[in-house]
Structure 1
Amino acid sequence: MRNLKDILGIEHSIGQAPMLGVTTPAMVAAIANEGGLGTLPLGGLPVEMCDKLIKQTKELTNKPFAVNVFLNPLVTQDDSQIDLMQHLLSKVCLSNNIPYTQITEFKQDTYMPLVELAIAHGIKVICFTFGCFTPPEIERLHQEGIYLIGTATTLEEAQYLSDHTIDAITLQGIEAGGHRGSFLHDTTEQNLPLDQLFNQVINSSIDKPLIVTGGLYKGSQARKYIDKGAAFATFGSLFIASDESNAMDYQKNLLSKGTPVKTKLTKSFSGKWARGIDNNFMELIDQSNISIPPYPIQNILTQNIRFFAKQKNIPNFNSLWCGINSHFAAKHNIKHIFNKLTKEFYEY
């Protein structure tokens, strides 16, 4: 089997996890220029914006990089559930001097236009989450010479991806920040710490390159997993406080203090399980006992709230996604952070 580094066209077995809202073209390009795999998140964004982001990244690097897409299924709109949630959101916003406009249109975009865009740009690595491509789509993408990396949070999901001829599998431990990649079950009950999940999969009949992610913050951790049979490791939260990150200054300052922060899994912002810094909005929605519409409906309902909170620097009403070890994030440029990781990796 060819080494995954050779397949991806990179120098190191370390990469950057896609973090929508945090990752920038500058971050992806910096990782790529240092010999790692940078990943540009496209999921949930308009095609025109994705086109611009890919072009910006290409202007900053001539090295390979991946794009990430969401394969979430289209969901049925429950108007009564939406009305109850909008009533709650309007009350919460009114009490906190945040404007709220009733949403009446819930456009659910499909992922194939983003995939076609990636093909047009010559992207050769597509990673995905929240689902799996259909067999005809997989055949088409393989014919285009595209390497496919799926996301699994359980052994069952890893087996599903393997059975569907996905080229490599990212194993996402429960420690990871941001959205869970779960797609077979809308629950976190079967989700395991990365070490346990990896041991389950590596000792199974699955014969695919395995990528580990979730709670990693040192190059030596990546090396340990690779010594045990993993092919690659990705880091996410470690890059949140970087110069190139688009995270709120509040989050960057908080994480760079080096003090552990309280994170929790919630559906409050998007309707899909995600881990982030516990805040007022999470508590108000989670404790309301009101049914949360599924992704992407809830994500659409809270989009303007999150945008306003970020613009006005109100962290208690924005989604501050990060993992359980995010306090190891450093305020520095990506080149410095990544080179420190590779040094730790090779010196272990």
Structure 2
Amino acid sequence: MKQHLNTLFVTTQDTWLSKEGECVVLSLEGEKLGKIPLHTLQSIACFGHVACSQYLLERCAQLGITVTWFTEYGRFMAAMQGPTTGNVLLRRAQYRLADSPEASARLARFFLIGKIGNCRTVLQRQARATGEPALAAAVETLGGILRGLLHEQDIAVLRGLEGDAAHRYFEVFPLLIKEEIRHDMPFCGRSRRPPRDEMNCLLSFFYALLAQDVRSALEGVGLDPAVGYLHRERPGRPSLALDMMEEFRPYLADRLALTLVNRQQIRSSDFIRTEVGGVQLKDKARKEMLVAWQERKREEVEHPFLRERMSVGMLCHMQARLLARHVRGDLDAYPPFAIR
């Protein structure tokens, strides 16, 4: 168990949560793991096989403490709330911000600062390791785009800057792949629906997993995943999830794909080419990618804003809570997730 932002996260399987006085008690196989006063909590997030007593749920409902259940891997399942909830107020605030061009641009800028800053860091690390001039030049370009983001208020201009940054990033992306592997798994620019090469197939696969994780985190805090700021509403499109996942793409999806390819844990033989010219993962490789994704999420890192240790899988839940605090007006600005 870990407590962040007045939320108790319970990830140990088979944990039993019960009420003792005005505290929640966590037990495993009859042994107490800890006790936390209920008045210090705003919510409890249960991952996987975690059970709660009826008396605890009743008291949480009375105190306005939200209890949310996710699968072990972070997919949202359900939430329990008492008769009085702030979610309707949170969503109304979210919708009002989405209706304001200025507020939408401000939030879009936060997401893009996180994304482009993380892309720059990924390139910068490789540039230092290899001394590759093209990577150093791309780092400089992304730095200039970041400076241009700081005071830009027009959402269309922000999207244009994001497009320029993405083009420059993926232009030098092949240099992040080991030279001896590039011929076997060439990368000729970002392509989607269908992905035209093996690396694009890997990226699209991990981006889909990331989008699901971020969407679950947003639903868990009561935000509407369909109403975004950088990505505008479209039927069936989780626009806010697409907004927030931008800052995680380089850190989670891109780095994991590169690690698997450079270590040759995944090879060109793990893919098949379709009749329409696209590339797909073979079933066995897909299962291996799912295992790699879950193992990555179990690793521990320090959150750059909160300065607290947590699993990688918790990061999107932390960011969703920070975004909710900003939308409610409790935080002056949304702090994007930025690696160092």
TM-score per shorter chain, which class?
under 0.3
Query: Please, what TM-score do these two structures have when normalized by structure 1?
Result: 0.27
Which of the two has greater helix per residue? Answer: 2
Query: Please, what TM-score do these two structures have when normalized by structure 2?
Result: 0.27
Tell which has more relative contact order, 1 or 2 (C-alpha 8 A, sep 6+).
1
Bigger-Rg structure (1/2): 2
